[in-house]
């Protein structure tokens, strides 16, 4: 957890756009390879595809970030929302700015879920456990569950035009293994070819 927090602190201080994008990709990488989301005693979510959203006034102003108060200073907690398509993010903000990663595709106890499937699952879960959204749910993965598959970076899916529209702020693992819907022009073949 320390490396994740240190990366967030470095991002808070960084002003160069390219360095900020690299740090957001690093946060995504860490979430995909070293962390899980514990939604209860017997419910573990493993992220497969995450998309970083960051809005820090005067430093990194991503117009696609929701800028909800429920994204500020909530490191390790869920942000469940109905904006856009709706979905769930893991908040990483540790201050008065917005930083979260949308869980685009995930495995819950081995079952593949899309962003909308996860949103619906979490709504049901929150109806039974209203405190879920306020609890720390981010947890380090046990060593035996760490994923060593390569992580790929792509533009986020389904966004309108904006300054960071084509920035590679989506990160994914398991390319070719799951029924992902890729951003146009950044499909499985392109990502795999770029890796070679």
Architecture field, domain 2-195: Roll (3.10)
Residues 41-97 have pLDDT tens digits of 899 999 999 999 999 999 999 998 888 888 899 999 998 877 777 789 999 999 999
Domain map (residue ranges) of the chain: 2-195
Record the tokens describing residue 46, joined without a space.
């493993």
Residues 6-23 have pLDDT tens digits of 999 999 999 999 999 999
HEC readout, the chain: CHHHHHHHHHHHHCCCHHHHHHHHHHHHHHHHHHEEEEEECCEEEEEEEEEEEEEECCCEECCCCCCCHHHECCCCEEEEECCCCCEEEEECCCCCCEEEEEEEEEEECCEEEEHHHHHHHHHHHHHHCCCHHHCECEEECCHHHCCCCCCEEECCCCCCCCCCCCCCCEEECCCCCCCCCCCCCCCHHHHHHHHC
Mean pLDDT of 117-144: 90
């Amino acid at each position: 957890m320390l490396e994740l927090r240190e990366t967030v602190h470095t991002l808070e201080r960084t002003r160069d756009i390219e360095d900020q994008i690299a740090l957001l990709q690093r946060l995504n990488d860490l979430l995909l390879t070293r962390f899980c989301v514990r939604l209860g005693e017997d419910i573990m979510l493993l992220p497969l595809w995450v998309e970083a959203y960051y809005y820090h006034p005067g430093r990194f102003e991503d117009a696609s970030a929701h800028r909800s108060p429920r994204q500020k200073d909530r490191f390790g907690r869920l942000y469940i929302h109905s904006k856009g398509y709706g979905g769930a993010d893991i908040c990483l903000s540790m201050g008065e700015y917005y930083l979260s990663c949308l869980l685009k595709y995930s495995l819950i106890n081995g079952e593949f879920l899309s962003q909308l499937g996860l949103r619906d699952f979490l709504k049901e879960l929150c109806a039974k456990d209203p405190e879920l959204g306020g609890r720390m749910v981010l947890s380090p993965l046990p060593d035996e569950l760490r994923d060593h598959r390569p992580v790929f970076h792509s533009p986020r899916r389904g966004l309108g035009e904006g300054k960071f529209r084509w920035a590679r702020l989506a990160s994914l693992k398991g390319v070719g293994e799951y029924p992902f819907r890729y951003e146009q022009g950044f499909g499985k073949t392109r990502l795999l070819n770029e890796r070679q």
